[in-house]
């Protein structure tokens, strides 16, 4: 006989369930459709993830490589390479050999890639804003602070 139903879930079980629900909600076809709506050059969220990974590297003053994209997206190098090739073919990235290592490719957002990423980022921000539109500003600020801390702690834990 299973007695699992007798054990009340802990706050950590609840937290894990909430994180799963948020992740799942953002993976649903309707959410993806709204994020990608009217973006002709982007058909998949993986394209956006690659663009964001390259942008983050550029904003930190570093050039992005396929290995960086693989690490940032937590995927295998071969998967990153195929995805990057698709994004390059769509004209959203350029890929060129690194001057110091011909085996390594450097990735740079094209003007179209930068514009597309900005449009989708604005749309995502608008969607999140709509979800918390009736929340008091203080609660939104608290949520942002706590999620920022949680993300940092998850990332540190993954690196340990």
The predicted-structure confidence for 103-137, as pLDDT tens digits, reads as follows 889 999 999 999 999 999 999 999 999 999 999 99
The predicted-structure confidence for 60-102, as pLDDT tens digits, reads as follows 999 899 999 999 999 999 999 999 999 999 999 999 998 888 8
Task: Kindly state the DSSP code that residue 44 receives in the 8-state scheme.
Answer: S
Measured in whole angstroms, the distance separating CA 25 from the mean position of its chain's CA atoms is 14
Tell me whether residue 102 is in a domain: yes
Report the length, in residues, of the chain. Answer: 160
Sequence-distant (≥ 6) Cβ neighbours of residue 117 within 8 angstroms? 48, 51, 52, 55, 109
Tell me the residue range of the domain where 74 lies: 10-124
Which CATH number characterizes residue 18's domain? 1.10.10.10
Tell me whether residue 132 is in a domain: no
Please provide residue 93's backbone torsions phi and psi, each rounded to the nearest 5 degrees: -135, 155
Tell me whether residue 99 is in a domain: yes
Tell me whether residue 17 is in a domain: yes
Q: Is the dihedral of CA 18, 23, 24, 30 positive or negative?
A: positive
> Is residue 74 helix, strand or coil?
coil
Tell me whether residue 88 is in a domain: yes
Please provide residue 88's backbone torsions phi and psi, each rounded to the nearest 5 degrees: -65, -45
Helical (H) or strand (E) element with 96:
strand 93-97
User: Domain count of the chain?
Assistant: 1
Tell me whether residue 146 is in a domain: no
Tell me whether residue 138 is in a domain: no
Tell me whether residue 149 is in a domain: no
């Amino acid at each position: 006989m299973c007695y699992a139903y007798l054990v009340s879930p802990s706050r950590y079980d609840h937290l894990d369930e909430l994180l799963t629900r948020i992740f799942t909600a953002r993976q649903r076809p309707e959410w993806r459709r709204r994020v990608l709506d009217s973006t002709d050059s982007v058909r998949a969220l993986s394209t956006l993830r690659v663009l964001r990974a390259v942008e983050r590297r550029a904003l930190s003053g570093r050039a992005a490589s396929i290995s960086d994209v693989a690490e940032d997206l937590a995927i295998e190098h071969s998967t990153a390479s195929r995805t990057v090739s698709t994004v390059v073919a769509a004209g959203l990235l350029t890929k060129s050999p690194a001057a110091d290592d011909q085996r390594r490719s450097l990735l740079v957002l094209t003007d179209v890639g930068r514009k597309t990423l900005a449009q989708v980022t604005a749309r995502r921000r608008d969607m999140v804003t709509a979800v918390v539109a009736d929340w008091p500003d203080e609660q939104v600020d608290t949520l942002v602070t706590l999620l920022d801390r949680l993300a940092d702690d998850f990332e540190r834990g993954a690196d340990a």
